[in-house]
Structure 1
Amino acid sequence: MSLVNNLISPLDIRVSIADRFKRIRLDQNVSQEQLAERSGVSLGSLRRFESKGEISLKSLVRLAISLNRAQDFDLLFQIEEEIDLFKPESKLRQRASRGTK
């Protein structure tokens, strides 16, 4: 399911991610209590994530690692690199440019 094409609000995106996460947890036959203990994320945080989609990035990463799904983050914010054999390599940006006042 494409989040961009089907969902419009941040809440929709968060809830969709939480729903998919819960399905993965259940497919692996892991209870919320087991996952909370294994990941070091509080049971309350895990329950809030699965019901409302609210969680810190740090906790989400811990949960993903505990379910062997850390590789799923590789697709997040991918940078598309164009290959142009005739264009000289440019330096990677370190900062955004200042806006004009």
Structure 2
Amino acid sequence: MLEHELMLGAYSFRVGFFGLITSRHMVRALMCIELIFNAVNMNFIAFSNSFENSRLEGEIFSLFIIAVAAAEAAIGLSIALVIYRNRGLIRIDQFNLLKW
């Protein structure tokens, strides 16, 4: 059972990473980052459930990752909204507002 869960997490990570590399749209890139975070969460939960101890380390790490992912989504979407208001587009390959 552990192998199936890890393969699902690895597949989700791979799809998210491929989408992040090939994405030109900022919202799609943020969604791919969220998919990567969820794949890591699946692996933490799978390892935590596979060992027979009463500690909840995988679940606790997953809660921290969910909090970081929520903050990343809020900040990323706010940056995308500001760039859209200024430029009218949110394509990653066509803006360089964050450069000096």
Q: TM-score band (shorter)?
A: 0.3 to 0.5
Higher share in helix: 2
User: TM-score normalised to the size of structure 1?
Assistant: 0.33
User: TM-score normalised to the size of structure 2?
Assistant: 0.33
* Higher alpha-carbon Rg: 1
